[in-house]
C-alpha cells in the first residue's frame, strides 16, 4: 500500500512548510488527485490520521478533489476529457490519446493556524 508512504510525504512537506511560513497546526488539507494517479483515495483517508498522529496535522480535515483525465489527440489536434485510460477522442473517435492531465497528485492548499 503506497498510500502510507504518500501520507508520510505529505506530513513531511507540511512540516517543512510550517518552518518556512511559521504555522503550528494544519486545520484543513486540500488535495487534488488525478483519476489516473493510481492513488486509492479511501486508503489515503485511512492512513493519513495514523501518520499525522502527534504532528501538526493531527486532527486535520482532508478534502479531496478528483481531477478528471485529459488527453491530447494527435490525429485531430484536440483535447478530450478521459474517464478511462483508453478513452477515444471526443472529437474524431480515434484511440491512442496522450494523457496530458489526470495522473497528478498535489497539495492544493491548506488552512493553518
Known binder of ligand: residue 7? Answer: no
Domain total of the chain: 1
CATH number at residue 38: 3.30.2320.80
First-to-last alpha carbon distance for the chain, in angstroms, is: 31
Cβ atoms 14, 62 nearer than 8 A: no
Q: For residue 51, give its domain range.
A: 3-112
Angle (CA) 59 63 66, round 5° = 150
Known binder of ligand: residue 73? Answer: yes
Known binder of ligand: residue 89? Answer: yes
Query: Per-residue pLDDT for the chain (113 aa), expressed as one digit of tens each?
Result: 589 999 999 999 999 999 999 999 999 999 999 999 999 999 999 999 999 999 999 999 999 999 999 999 999 999 999 988 888 999 999 998 999 999 999 999 999 99
Report d(CA 32, CA 37) in Å as an integer.
10
Q: What is the pLDDT of residue 64?
A: 98
Amino acid at each position: 500500500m503506497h498510500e502510507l508512504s504518500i501520507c508520510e510525504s505529505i506530513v513531511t512537506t507540511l512540516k517543512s512548510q510550517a518552518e518556512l511560513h511559521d504555522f503550528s497546526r494544519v486545520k484543513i488539507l486540500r488535495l487534488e488527485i488525478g483519476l489516473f494517479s493510481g492513488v486509492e483515495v479511501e486508503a489515503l483517508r485511512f492512513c493519513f490520521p495514523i501518520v499525522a498522529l502527534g504532528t501538526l496535522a493531527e486532527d486535520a480535515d482532508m478534502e479531496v478533489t478528483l481531477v478528471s483525465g485529459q488527453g491530447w489527440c494527435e490525429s485531430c489536434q484536440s483535447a478530450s476529457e478521459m474517464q478511462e485510460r483508453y478513452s477515444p477522442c471526443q472529437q474524431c473517435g480515434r484511440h491512442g490519446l496522450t494523457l496530458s492531465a489526470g495522473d497528478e497528485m498535489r497539495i492544493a492548499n491548506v488552512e493553518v493556524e
